[in-house]
Amino acid sequence: MFLSNPAKSFLMSVAIVILTGCGFVGTGDNAAEPAVDEPKSSIPFKTREPENFQCEIIEKAGETVRRKRLAKKGAWRRIDLDPGEIGHRVVLQIDREYVIDMGRGVYAESASGAGGEFGELTHELLNTFHRAEFEETARDGNLVLYRVRPADSDASETVVHYDETVGMPVKQEFFSVAGSERTLQYTIELANFHTEPDAGLFALPAGLRKVTLSEFTASSRK
């Protein structure tokens, strides 16, 4: 599995915007997608669906830092996990879906939607927001802070930093709560957001060796 358990929560940092509209699961045709109505929920801010975008997600938990890069152009999608590191992996959906191990210089074709897990995570994300209670706590220009509490629990809360200019959350802080004490567990930040992604992201890198999916998976587990 590409994503660690804490990494699943990083997708909240782009709220409904990227995952609800973009899905990261779909066809390989680079065609315009129909507008998607925002689902009704208790979320107090508007979101918009970028047709094209590129951004980085930075997840921090104590001294541990993980980076992801997301990109979308029409129906093409790409996610880079730990870019620049020895464990750099890529899920690329263009004419078909590919999984890439940049460190080993190999790639394999996979069944559509098999590599990214985003259908499951989108469902989890929406359920989380629908059960949450939002409270605006501060406003500084275009930046608005919300305290978010699960409706069925008082043991945790999230502080969302929402940028009205960008149209999505740009930072989230996740706390555990015990009585009057709040302890920061980890933070998620959205960085280097661009509405036009680099075209080169949606092509297989040169020099890769093709392997079967079973070989790719077996080697990844070593």
* Residue-range domains of the chain with CATH: 5-220 (2.50.20.10)
Q: Residues near 52 by Cβ (< 8 Å), separated by ≥ 6?
A: 72, 73, 74, 195, 196, 197
CA distances to 29, 36, 109, 155 from 99, in Å: 18, 28, 6, 38
What global pTM score does this model have?
A: 0.70
d(CA 171, CA 13): 6
d(CA 32, CA 90): 23
Q: With a cut of 90, say whether residue 188 has pLDDT above it.
A: no
Contact 207, 107 (CB under 8 A): no
Contact 31, 24 (CB under 8 A): no
Select the highest-mean-pLDDT range: 27-41, 126-140, 144-158.
Answer: 144-158
d(CA 200, CA 145): 35
Model pLDDT for residues 32-86, shown as the tens digit of each residue: 454 444 444 577 876 666 778 888 889 899 999 999 888 889 888 898 989 989 8
Model pLDDT for residues 79-129, shown as the tens digit of each residue: 898 998 988 999 999 989 999 999 999 999 987 654 444 333 333 333 455
> pLDDT band for position 152 (50/70/90)?
confident
Q: Helix 15-22 to helix 118-130 angle, to the nearest 10 degrees?
A: 140
